[in-house]
Amino acid sequence: MNIDAKRRAMAGAVVAPQAGGAKTMVRVGRETAGRAGKGVSVITGLPLTQTALEELAKQLKKRCGCGGTVRNGVIEIQGDHRDLLVAELVRLGYPAKRSGG
């Protein structure tokens, strides 16, 4: 991590992972279980702290124009926004893939 990335991380900004090293694939799927049939887009596999996850979730919710939350290290965005979320995560530098059907 270079000095600029460290400064952004200390300031609370969302920092994309560095190239190289073990890359974990970020998965964007859709779930309806336990939500009375309402679907949410679920983002898993992000190697971030809880505060960084909350900041990223805030950016993604604003981009999608909907609500959401962070639960147990997983970002949940209301509605089916998988394609938009994958595009936004790739733009931010995360190796994201759409999962599920």
Sign of CA dihedral 29, 32, 33, 34: positive
pLDDT (0 to 100) of residue 99: 87
- The rounded distance, in Å, linking the Cα atoms of 55 and 51 is 6
In the chain, count of helices (H) and strands (E)?
3, 5
In this predicted structure, the answer to whether residue 55 has a pLDDT above a threshold of 90 is: yes
Domains of the chain: 3-98 (3.30.780.10)
Top pLDDT among 33 and 44 is at: 44
pLDDT in tens, 72-98: 899 999 999 999 999 999 999 999 999
The predicted model scores a pTM of: 0.75
Query: Looking at residue 34, what is its pLDDT?
Result: 82
pLDDT of residue 33: 86
Which of 23-27, 33-37, 77-81 is most confident?
Answer: 77-81
